[in-house]
Structure 1
Amino acid sequence: MTDDLADLAGLFQGPQSSTEAARAARGRGGRAALLIIAIILVLALGSAGGYVWWALNAPLPAPTSSSHTPDPPTTPAAVIAVPTEVAASALSLSGAEEYLGKTPGIWAESGTNDPRPMASISKLITALVVLERKPLANATDPGPTIRFSKADHDLYDQYYVKGATIAAMPTGSSMSEHDAIAMMLVPSASNYADAVSTWAFGSRGAFLSAARKWLAKNGLNSTGIVEPTGISPQNTSTPSDLIALGRLAAAHPAIAAIATQTSIEIPSIGGFSNTNNLLGVEGVTGLKTGNLGTGSHNLLYTASMNVGIGEPLQVVGVVLGGATGGAVDDNVRTLLASIREGFDQVEVASSGQVVGHLETAWGDEARMVIPSSASLLTWSDTPIEVSMKIETPKTFADGEVVGSITWTAGPNTTTSDIRLEGTIGQPDEWWRLTHPRLLGAE
């Protein structure tokens, strides 16, 4: 019954038109297109979100690094002003072997090593021989008392006639051995050298015999002595022997202490100045002048020079046959100054000196710098070597230590950090989103 009614209704409505069928078909196609567009939009939005996430989190390209080891500075060769307007000179050094080379003997010299008159340098031999026979306990020990006889007093006139340096020695006066030694070394009184050597050995002949044995024992085989004062030109020695004599004298506490005094005061006799006018100049500490007139001025000297190496540089030198005492002094002063000037604090780096750069693809930059100036003590033209090590920064922050640099010259080395100047930061989001080709590589 129901189906019949439906059929009857269909008859009343009649068949559908073609227009209505087309409209129905279009409705179904539109819905499919919208579905496809929606699917595409969903996929596109999902892909864009993935790109954004990737771009904002992808590894950044490493900064590019460039560095250069700076060239080391060079220094001029020291010009050692060895005396040339004298008969001969020699110099020995100790205390700076790492700089100057091993120096057990003569370090610099001029002239020849022939025997020449040593004049009053002879009094050092006299003092050393006397002190071996009559030793002092220490540098200030007065020692035994010496009483001067009329024969001793007569020496004053004898040496006065010869033109030698003399000092009063009244008959019956007395003096400690220490002071008598000082009289022969500081003002270079010849009558004291003669009197003291005779006091110690009983006669001049006995003294000379002992002196020659002492010279042989100490290897001074090119030194000859015929009297205790040096007034005779037959008292001769070579530069190398005199350097050895200087070392012996400098090692004797009493002689070294006496020789360094610019003046002495002797009770009942008075004050006397040292004939060595260089004491205290360029570190000179002794030892003895010698003078036989024009063209025969000598100086055996010691010096303790602070040249910046820690312990002072110890010098023993001799000049023989200078025109005048003043010329000899000038030669020695110039020579010692030239040695001092050969040591130099060389600046190897300046504060803020750039040795490298860091750059990033997004425009950040930082410099690798030596944070403070550095210097190195060198001798003469000793080459300065430099080495540098750069490490990958960890934080890329301003001030971070990224390496080190080391300079070496002879025995000395100095090292400085290398630090970043400037900070390497992160790029902004826009740079990440617009530079996909630079991203993704660790």
Structure 2
Amino acid sequence: MPLSRRQIYRRRRTVFFGGFLVVLGVVIYGVSTGVATLPAAAASLTEPAPLTQPAAAPAWPGFGSGAIGAVGFDGVLAASGGTGPVPIASITKTVTALVILEAKPLAAGEAGPTVRFTDADVDIYYDTIAENGSSAPVVAGMELTEREALEAMLLPSANNYAESLAIWAYGSVDSYLAAASTWIAAHGLTGTTIVDTSGLSPDSVSTPADLVEIGKLVRAAPALAEIVSMKTAVLPTIGTVSNTNKLLGDFGVDGIKTGTTDEAGACLLFSADVTVGNKTVTLVGVMLGGETHPELNQAVSALIESAKAGFHEVELTTAGTSIGSYSTAWGQSAHAVTATDASALVWSDTPITTRAQAQPMRVGSTGAEVGTLDFVVGTRTITVPLVLRGALTDPGAGWRFSHPGELF
């Protein structure tokens, strides 16, 4: 039986709407797959193996005690002999100078305010001579700049200038000693006790570890670092004064302070700039309890050379080193590589470990930062960015249309 007009209309409408729904479904599916978030590819990482270096072998003498450190390195790197407080003789004057600068700051190259000397300073001078302490001349009415007065104190190790400058800065020796005690506590120098300005008293004591820190503080004070590196100075009225540190200029030595008393023996707090690879290392060390200064200087020279050999400039990585790779669900691949070279100055057998992390990636262009590679060198961390080598691009509509399982 022929279909009625109504039946034909209904059939056509069914076919039309069925086709429309199919087309609509295809469009919706295509749009949905086209805008769906791509699956992220996790990085497969291969961290560099830990790096090891030979242990240092510092050359220590068979006498006294000592310690050595370096600017930029925490604490003491190596030590020998006793670790407790001992008399430090005129090394005490480094504390005197540092505490004076707390009250009377002095910048690099600056002369500073005028110090006027009186009859009281002349009395201090004669008292110093009576004590058989090291001294430099002073005349009532004489004027020196702060820098010149510090040169008179530190180069020839003049006890009378240590006392006169402390009184000039703080009003009295007692006030100075109170300030010194506060300063010592503020810097965590728990093994250090200062009872005079010059170190003539055997009760002015410190530990090798504390003295290394005091030496670093002197090197960090530009004016003092300049002064302790001087072999001689020409001062008004006084004339030429010579530094008691006879190692200056040898083995990279550029400071800091000698000391000698019966109780302390021959002592030297020293700093030395040495070259390791293409870097300069500032060593700061102390040796206490020598019989004579020539013997002590020979021992310090050997220590400096052996300590220099204990540093290593280590190549950590070079730019472009592959640390990981990405493989996408649509068949593309790329590498996570180091963005820069990196090296580290390492003391002795300080362990070097690595820690890599990289974020999951969907798409990214060559050079995009994707993570970091950390080198842990003792207590320091050196971070190198990781970047993409090779682009990760959208796979396109065809793959999206045919891989709904990966998209939804």
TM-score tier after normalising by the smaller chain length: 0.5 to 0.7
Q: C-alpha deviations, 1:265-322, integer Å up to 9, x for none?
A: 11222111101111111111111111103861111111110132x2201211011111
How far has the Cα of 1:84 moved from its partner? 3.1
Q: Map 1:40-439 to 2 at 5 A.
A: 80-94=57-71, 103-136=73-106, 138-293=107-262, 296-308=265-277, 310-341=278-309
Inter-partner Cα distance in structure 2 for 1:324 and 1:210: 33
Q: Say if 2:56 and 2:347, in contact at 8 Å, map to a contact too.
A: no
Tell me how many residue pairs correspond in the alignment: 272
Query: For residue 290 of structure 2, what is the amino acid of its counterpart?
Result: G
**Which residue is 1:432 aligned to?**
none
TM-score (norm 2): 0.62
CA RMSD of aligned residues (A): 2.7
How far has the Cα of 1:172 moved from its partner? 1.2
Inter-partner Cα distance in structure 2 for 1:378 and 1:239: 22
How far has the Cα of 1:339 moved from its partner? 2.9
Q: Say if 2:58 and 2:310, in contact at 8 Å, map to a contact too.
A: no
Residue 266 to residue 232, structure 1, CA distance change in 2 (3 Å) = same
Q: C-alpha deviations, 1:32-74, integer Å up to 9, x for none?
A: xxxxxxxxxxxxxxxxxxxxxxxxxxxxxxxxxxxxxxxxxxx
Q: Say if 1:121 and 1:299, in contact at 8 Å, map to a contact too.
A: yes
Paired residue secondary structure (2:279): coil
Residue 145 to residue 91, structure 1, CA distance change in 2 (3 Å) = same
Q: C-alpha deviations, 1:157-184, integer Å up to 9, x for none?
A: 1111211111110111111111101111
Residue 111 to residue 176, structure 1, CA distance change in 2 (3 Å) = same
Unaligned runs of 5+ in 2: 1-52, 314-344, 351-376, 378-408
Q: Say if 1:123 and 1:185, in contact at 8 Å, map to a contact too.
A: yes
**Which residue is 2:320 aligned to?**
none
Paired residue secondary structure (1:168): coil
Inter-partner Cα distance in structure 2 for 1:189 and 1:292: 14
Residue 78 to residue 220, structure 1, CA distance change in 2 (3 Å) = closer
Inter-partner Cα distance in structure 1 for 2:74 and 2:199: 28
Q: Say if 2:89 and 2:264, in contact at 8 Å, map to a contact too.
A: no
Unaligned runs of 5+ in 1: 1-75, 96-102, 346-376, 383-410, 412-442
How far has the Cα of 1:344 moved from its partner? 9.0
How far has the Cα of 1:232 moved from its partner? 0.4
Inter-partner Cα distance in structure 1 for 2:126 and 2:306: 44
How far has the Cα of 1:328 moved from its partner? 1.1
Q: Say if 1:147 and 1:173, in contact at 8 Å, map to a contact too.
A: yes
- Sequence identity percentage: 41
Inter-partner Cα distance in structure 2 for 1:294 and 1:83: 21
Residue 315 to residue 184, structure 1, CA distance change in 2 (3 Å) = same
Inter-partner Cα distance in structure 1 for 2:70 and 2:111: 32
Q: Say if 1:133 and 1:200, in contact at 8 Å, map to a contact too.
A: yes
Residue 249 to residue 343, structure 1, CA distance change in 2 (3 Å) = closer
Inter-partner Cα distance in structure 1 for 2:206 and 2:309: 31
The farther-off stretch of 289-298 and 180-189 is 289-298
Inter-partner Cα distance in structure 2 for 1:176 and 1:80: 45
Residue 215 to residue 380, structure 1, CA distance change in 2 (3 Å) = closer
Q: Say if 1:80 and 1:335, in contact at 8 Å, map to a contact too.
A: no
Mark the structure with the bigger radius of gyration.
1
Paired residue secondary structure (2:127): helix
How far has the Cα of 1:243 moved from its partner? 0.8
Q: Say if 1:93 and 1:316, in contact at 8 Å, map to a contact too.
A: yes
Where in structure 1 do 4 or more consecutive aligned residues deviate above 4 Å?
76-79, 341-345, 377-382
Inter-partner Cα distance in structure 1 for 2:221 and 2:302: 27
The farther-off stretch of 83-92 and 164-173 is 83-92
How far has the Cα of 1:81 moved from its partner? 3.9
Inter-partner Cα distance in structure 2 for 1:378 and 1:115: 29
Query: For residue 107 of structure 1, what is the amino acid of its counterpart?
Result: L
How far has the Cα of 1:85 moved from its partner? 2.2
TM-score (norm 1): 0.57
Residue 281 to residue 78, structure 1, CA distance change in 2 (3 Å) = farther
Q: Say if 1:295 and 1:323, in contact at 8 Å, map to a contact too.
A: no
